[in-house]
Structure 1
């Protein structure tokens, strides 16, 4: 009897994934129609906090093939009343042609901060902190209220949509909101790995963030995060830490301090996909290890009076689900392996009494594994309409392998954290067609 209970529990765990996928899709679709109207209605209840000054920070370490386009795209962004953003590039000790590429962009709204060793190359968090302190100093010297100053983070390969500052300003009209995360999309999705990553960001992450927005638990990403200077000042001299996912930790610290964070899919930052399996595994291992490092906030989250139980459950799910998935996968794989060996030697287990039962279980597992990817592909096509359905369905077919890669990254992250390894090689960038520098007439 206990064997059947274990089997039923195993099927329940597997089926929870497609069921939760359908629920997330439903939330994602309904959110677009309802939540947005609610936010607009509430936006001025706490006063008008519309930003008046924008800084785009671009952390750069050996970004020669992409940083030129990133800076030019950022210089072309404008906010309410045609307010133009200043761009601050933090050259964190680059030893390629990054300094020469930046020097060739002659624009009055571009400032380059060069960090040389031994201060350079101590992580993205330290580079962002240096930029933050510079902007805070310039803001104080100009006599500008930090409530009206917004710092946006766009990575070296990132490019913001034309409306990004307008949308961020709309979200920040509510003075109770201290940060906004915009949607992330993939530009080079002509290859399969890029298409799968765009399926992930464009559908899955978007739906998850929409749910978190409803629960007031939005997480900040490393690319496309916008924060009020006043919210960062409340966190001290170094709001970003040395954590491998400094963006996730900053979001947790803001939630614990009572700062509101919103998410919008009406504006986006595009970035390059990692199209090499080895490098992609390395990137996801770093993300998983950073997630593990943020587990030290669990006690504060559980005891915080600022976070409700529903919101707390979502945060805990976000932090703990990768590790639960890794353990469940090992348990299910071990059960299938043990059942196969037992059948081969003529001593079947009570759970898997015949090859037919094993085949039926494998069929269920395959259906459950592939079903969510196809749902996300249909949602991607319905919402964004910038990819063909056949390409999205191919990406959906590859999605289970992509998840398997994520599990490998999780196991590697545990090993790295246990052995104290923190160093990382930089993600490789791909060359793109050069875009023109914005006209100096826009510099006023």
Structure 2
């Protein structure tokens, strides 16, 4: 009986995951790049708006190893004003920032006990400052573009060109850039994170563009200030550990559409340490659980379409599906190992081998498919290709990378159950690059 129940749980979770993956894959194959001009920044406006004022917010907490590189990279874009918010760093980040002598760099500082209260508070703090500046200068809010770039990030060279093309169209409001990890990887874990963001999440975002369910990332989001202030308020970011998707839900509930940029992207550091990787993902899972408080509003909303509601339901359901599926796999594996002799006597060795081989082949199939698209994406955007040895292990890594995330799910549920909502910082720098 236990085998039937947990097999059913695993089967349902697998079906939902495969259905979502298949739909994402079909949208990627059929719609893009054929429908190139459907995506943000790929349009050609009659005239570029030269009055756009960009403010890029860079949250900073103990980022001495990477913050200078990030600021210098942003200063290459002449229209950018960079607002760095130091959240009471203790590692010399302030001195690194002050070494950059440029009038377009604005350093804001938060001090304990008001610091270390989450990324949302940091971003709202910066937005207060930006609103004060623009009011003093008499710049209309509809001409002010707010960006969020992480302290370990760098924009692609064509980023400003795409942003200007997008925001020069008067009806555009919010866009999310494609995300990529810095190349020249040190280990396989970094490659897998790049595949996840640059290709797999990219496929999902393409599908969400058509279903009007594009999700913001914590890195590379840009929006026009006026509609956000008018519809959400002067402090749009909340206190969920997944501040980007919380803001996405708020925007969708106010009928603000998020667009997606496919042909420019933001680089960020991939983690080399499995421990840090698990901690980072546990924060994301817990942030997903934090967003459950919006579920009643989503259910009752008359603004959201059925497709949009299904997209939000799927996102909020993911931690629960992953948790149940992982538990089911562990229990089924335990039953198989403890009843090995019974299974061996019940199934002929040939049948048993075929079943195991079929399951392995099936799991590797998705790794091969996603790996092919990833390699094509690297070639298309002239990114460094993988080595032959890395290509050989690619399908295995893609197919089984989420096994280690079981520990992040357990950590997230533990913290969530005991209301431990403190920010789990992702460490950057030489050891994490």
TM-score normalised to structure 2 length:
0.89
Distance 2:4 2:351 in 1: 12
Match of 1:59 in 2: 59
1:185 to 171, 176, 180: 180
Residues in 2 aligned to 1:200 and 1:5: alpha-carbon distance in whole angstroms: 31
CA pair 106-408 structure 1, distance change in 2 beyond 3 A? same
Partner of 2:369: 375
Map 1:26-105; keep pairs closer than 5 Å. 26-38=26-38, 52-78=52-78, 84-105=79-100
**What residue number does 1:113 align with?**
108
- The Cα shift of 1:136 comes to 0.8
SS of alignment partner, residue 124 of structure 2: helix
In 2 relative to 1, CA 221–95 (structure 1 residues): closer, same or farther, beyond 3 Å? same
1:210 aligned to 2:210?
A: no
Q: Which residue of 2 aligns with 1:384?
A: 378
CA contact (8 A) 1:377 1:393 kept: no
- Compute the displacement of 1:426 (Å): 2.6
Q: Which sits farther off after the overlay, 170-179 or 354-363? A: 354-363
CA deviation map 1:310-366 (0-9, x unaligned): 22212211221232132123224423432442343x4x599x756655544333332
Task: Count residues with an aligned counterpart.
Answer: 423
Residues 17-75 of structure 1 show CA distances to partners (whole Å, capped at 9, x for unaligned) of 55653442231233323443345899799x99887110111100111110001000011
Return the alpha-carbon distance in structure 1 between the equivalents of residues 202 and 386 of structure 2: 19
Q: Is 1:252 aligned to residue 249 of structure 2?
A: yes
Aligned to 2:360: 366
Q: Secondary structure at the match of 1:384?
A: helix
Q: Unpaired runs of 5+ in structure 2?
A: none
TM normalised by structure 1 equals 0.86
Instruction: Quote how far apart the aligned CAs of 1:230 are.
Output: 1.2
The separation in 2 between residues aligned to 1:181 and 1:42, in whole angstroms, is 13
Corresponding position of 2:289: 292
Q: 2: distance between equivalents of 1:263 and 1:143?
A: 30
Instruction: Report the counterpart of residue 145 of structure 2 in structure 1.
Output: 150
The two structures, once aligned, show a CA RMSD in angstroms of: 3.0
The superposition leaves residues 168-221 of structure 1 with CA deviations (integer Å, 9 ceiling, x where unpaired) of 232334444321100111115242111110010111110111111111111111
State the SS of the aligned residue for 1:54. strand
Match of 2:163 in 1: 168
Which sections of structure 1, spanning at least 5 residues, go unmatched?
79-83, 433-444
Distance 1:355 1:184, change over 3 A: same
Of 14-23 and 202-211, deviating more is 14-23
1:161 to partner: Cα distance: 1.0
Classify 1:175/1:355 alpha carbon distance in 2 versus 1 (closer, same or farther; 3 Å): farther
Change in Cα spacing, 1:180 to 1:146, as seen in structure 2 (3 Å) is: same
SS at match of 1:144: coil
Distance 1:34 1:192 in 2: 32
Note if contact 1:378-1:389 (Cα within 8 Å) is conserved in structure 2.
no
